[in-house]
Amino acid sequence: MNRIWSFAGLFVAFVFAVTFFGQPAQSDVETKPTRWEYRTETVEAVQLAVRLNEWGGDRWEVFSVERGDSILDQQGDKTRLKVDNFQITARRLLK
């Protein structure tokens, strides 16, 4: 029984040491903050995939795609709301 308590004590000490003393040292050298450039554009729904691929090729990171204008599409006795365009917003690292 004494052996189990010794093991438990060592385990707790190990966890404590790793948690509080295993942190990497903080550098005194100041690092520059990351700077981004942003871009927002309204794109027609039929061109959305093409535009996203173009932006991806230019290393833009899209983080927002929102519905823009909508139109009523009436076909016979059916009426539905159809998205006409999207507003996309992206960022990339500023060089």
What's this model's pTM, rounded to 2 decimal places?
0.58
The DSSP string of 24-57 is: PPPPSSPPPPP-EEEEEEEEEGGGHHHHHHHHHH
71 has pLDDT over 80: yes
Question: What pLDDT score was predicted for residue 5?
Answer: 66
pLDDT tens-digit readout, 21-69: 666 666 667 788 889 999 999 999 999 999 999 999 999 999 999 998 8
95 has pLDDT over 90: no
